[in-house]
């Protein structure tokens, strides 16, 4: 199928061609006609599937079909909400590229940077606003943005927004929007919470699914290496060195862990940088640019910072520590094996993490192949200890319902607290559930594993 058959205008097709895209991806083939019809959409698609163009192209088309008021303030007509600043910036870049030949203006707003330039730009009139929820509410509060004329709302990575505790912010944004509008919801996973949000938000939505729910791409070769915690760094350095890996994304659970690992790898002579919410936007952008152009080989990231990172054909992803929330494993390894390329996702699993591994395997409904590395066999005398998430995580209480109050919780994703410090504090670490006593060795086949998952704990 070619882009020409999807009903997009010549100006948009020209921009798509200039991006070098030949054929629409499956999500684009399915989503674009539905959005052009003006229907609500519920789409299951991860980053890497081309979902951004899947919603941006038809939104641009719809907006460009109706006249833009020449006089007076241009109200925001399309609002794209995303959980993180990285994702917002990437979507913003796509919107700019695809709207190159259209008389539409777009702007990206997120926290952690000065609000004044954003207010100035909004004053000039913006058709398409890409925003993280916290900063959007700040702008709305200061009457710098009028959301009452929004025609199309896109909630991107809705699952992550809920995970990050943005549900209240989302509700407050929704209350500012006109009742009559088109709604597009994108999510990599469809938990009950997401379904609940979708049922309130969407009217008679078309449903589009490209990657099967909670399954990892078959183009990703996954493996598990059992190794003692204290030897993980040595093993990682060895893998990178022996495999001559040029680009590897490594996940840690905490910001502190990311910094520490990046330092150690640098000491080993392996160029590495950490990327997480405590880093300034400039530092993150620099680290990503260094990584993309080969200046550094390793990017060590927390789940939240890595979310939405657009890195083409990333060959290696390493879970230096398993995530506390099994869905994050799917997101993490989704950074590799994109498009036509294949990728490798390795997890270094210490005895403390066997329970997390079982949760992940239960979600994926597979057993991830184990690879034994001679010389790195776990010491059988080491017993499992509860996972403590460094400085950030362990104080979280179990999350209430999706409507639970995040009283005074710092905002993850760089939206910063309304006032006071600009950091995002605990935003990147989710505390583990307490480990079950006597957890069986994850290398053995599971027997009688209980079905279902317990609720995710909070901490963000
Ligand atoms: P996304 O899932 O939106 O983050 O997109 C992932 C990557 O695929 C981005 O680098 C896009 O520029 C690229 N992309 C999107 N659509 C296409 C397409 N039809 N053909 C080739 N690449 C694409």
Cβ(311)–Cβ(249) under 8 Å? yes
> Do 245 and 389 sit in the same domain of this protein?
yes
Both 284 and 345 in one domain: the answer is yes
Per-residue CA distances from 58 to 80, 152, 245, 259, 424 (Å): 13, 11, 39, 41, 34
**Residues 429 and 306 placed together within one structural domain of the fold:** yes
225 and 116 within one domain: no
The CATH number given to whatever domain includes residue 405 is 3.40.50.300
- Based on the domain organization, do 116 and 227 belong to the same domain? no
Looking at the structure, tell me whether residues 129 and 276 fall in a common domain: no
State residue 77 phi and psi, 5-degree precision: -110, -25
Rounded to the nearest whole angstrom, what is the distance from the C-alpha of residue 60 to the centroid of ligand 1? 16
Distance 106 CA to ligand 1 centre (A): 19
Residue 80: enclosing H or E segment and its boundaries? strand 78-81
Count of CB atoms situated within 10 Å of the CB of 399: 17
Q: Are residues 186 and 222 in the same domain?
A: no
How many domains, in total, are found in the chain?
A: 2
Nearest alpha carbon, ligand 1 atom 19 = 24
Surface-to-core class of residue 246, CB atoms within 10 Å of its CB (0-12 exposed, 13-18 middle, 19+ buried) = exposed
Q: Name the residue at shortest CA distance from atom 13 of ligand 1.
A: 50
C-alpha of residue 20 to centroid of ligand 1, in Å: 10
Q: Which of 176, 209, 242 is the last residue of a domain?
A: 209
197 and 315 belong to one structural domain: no
Give the structural domain span for 307: 216-460
Q: How far is the CA of 28 from the centre of ligand 1 (A)?
A: 10
Shortest-distance Cα residue to atom 6 of ligand 1: 48
Q: Which of 187, 209, 231 is the last residue of a domain?
A: 209
* Cβ contact 167:24 at 8 Å: no
* Domain termination residue (choose one: 179, 209, 239): 209
DSSP 75: P
Q: Enter the DSSP assignment of 157.
A: S
User: 352: Cβ below 6 Å to ligand 1?
Assistant: no
Return the residue whose CA atom lies nearest to atom 12 of ligand 1.
Answer: 50
Question: Which atom from ligand 1 is nearest to the alpha carbon of 23?
Answer: 19
Q: Quick one: 322 and 450 in the same domain? A: yes
Assess whether 32 and 52 both reside in one domain.
yes
**Tens-level pLDDT at each residue, the chain (460 residues):** 789 999 999 999 999 999 888 889 889 999 999 999 999 999 988 777 789 999 999 999 999 998 665 555 689 999 999 998 888 998 999 999 999 999 999 999 999 899 999 999 999 899 999 999 999 999 999 999 999 999 999 999 998 899 888 999 999 999 999 999 999 999 987 888 899 999 999 999 999 987 544 455 557 889 999 999 999 999 999 999 988 999 999 999 998 999 999 999 999 899 999 988 777 778 888 888 899 888 999 999 988 777 656 666 688 999 999 998 888 888 888 777 655 567 889 999 999 999 999 999 988 888 899 988 888 989 889 888 887 653 333 333 333 333 333 333 333 333 333 333 333 333 344 443 333 333 333 333 332 333 333 333 322 2
User: Best of 13, 20, 21 to mutate for ligand 1, by most ligand atoms within 8 A of CB?
Assistant: 21
Please tell me the pTM assigned to this model: 0.58
Domain identity same for 314 and 400? yes
Residues 223, 203 share a domain = no
Q: Is 50 in the pocket of ligand 1 (CB under 6 A)?
A: yes
């Amino acid at each position: 199928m070619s882009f020409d058959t999807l009903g997009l205008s010549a100006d948009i097709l020209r921009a798509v061609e200039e991006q070098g895209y030949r054929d629409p991806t499956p999500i684009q083939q399915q989503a674009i006609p539905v959005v052009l019809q003006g229907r609500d959409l519920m789409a299951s698609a991860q980053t890497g599937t081309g979902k951004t163009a899947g919603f941006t192209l038809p939104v641009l088309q719809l907006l460009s079909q109706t006249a833009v008021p020449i006089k007076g303030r241009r109200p925001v007509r399309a609002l794209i909400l995303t959980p993180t600043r990285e994702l917002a910036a990437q979507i913003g870049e796509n919107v700019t590229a695809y709207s190159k030949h259209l008389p539409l203006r777009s702007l990206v707003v997120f926290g952690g940077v000065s609000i004044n330039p954003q207010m100035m730009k909004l004053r000039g009139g913006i058709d398409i606003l890409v925003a993280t929820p916290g900063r959007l509410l700040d702008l709305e509060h200061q009457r710098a943005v009028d959301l009452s004329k929004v025609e199309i709302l896109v909630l991107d990575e809705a699952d992550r927004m809920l995970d990050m505790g943005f549900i209240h912010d989302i509700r407050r944004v929704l209350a500012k929007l006109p009742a009559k509008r088109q709604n597009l919801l994108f999510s990599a996973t469809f938990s009950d919470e997401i379904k609940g949000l979708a049922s309130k938000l969407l009217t008679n939505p078309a449903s589009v699914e490209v990657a099967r729910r909670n399954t990892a791409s078959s183009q990703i070769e996954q493996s598990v290496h059992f190794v003692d915690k204290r030897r993980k760094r040595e093993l990682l350095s060895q893998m990178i060195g022996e495999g001559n890996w040029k680009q590897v994304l490594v996940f840690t659970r905490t910001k502190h862990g990311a910094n520490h690992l990046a330092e150690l790898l640098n000491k080993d002579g392996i160029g590495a940088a950490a990327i997480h919410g405590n880093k300034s936007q400039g530092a993150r952008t620099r680290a990503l640019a260094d990584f993309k152009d080969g200046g550094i080989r390793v990017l060590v990231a927390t789940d939240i910072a890595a979310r939405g990172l657009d890195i083409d054909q990333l060959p290696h992803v390493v879970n230096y520590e398993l995530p506390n929330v099994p869905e994050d494993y799917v997101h993490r390894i989704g950074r590799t094996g994109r498009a036509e390329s294949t990728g490798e996702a390795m997890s270094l699993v210490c005895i403390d993490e066997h329970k997390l591994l079982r949760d992940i395997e239960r979600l994926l409904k597979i057993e991830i192949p184990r690879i034994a590395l001679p010389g790195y066999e776990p010491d059988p005398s080491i017993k499992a200890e509860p996972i403590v998430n460094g400085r950030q995580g362990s104080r979280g209480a179990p999350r209430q319902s999706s409507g639970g109050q995040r009283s005074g919780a710092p905002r993850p994703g760089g939206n910063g607290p309304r006032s006071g410090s600009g950091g995002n504090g605990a935003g990147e670490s989710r505390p583990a559930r307490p480990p079950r006593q006597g957890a069986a060795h994850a290398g053995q086949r599971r027997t009688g594993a209980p079905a279902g998952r317990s609720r995710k704990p909070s901490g963000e």
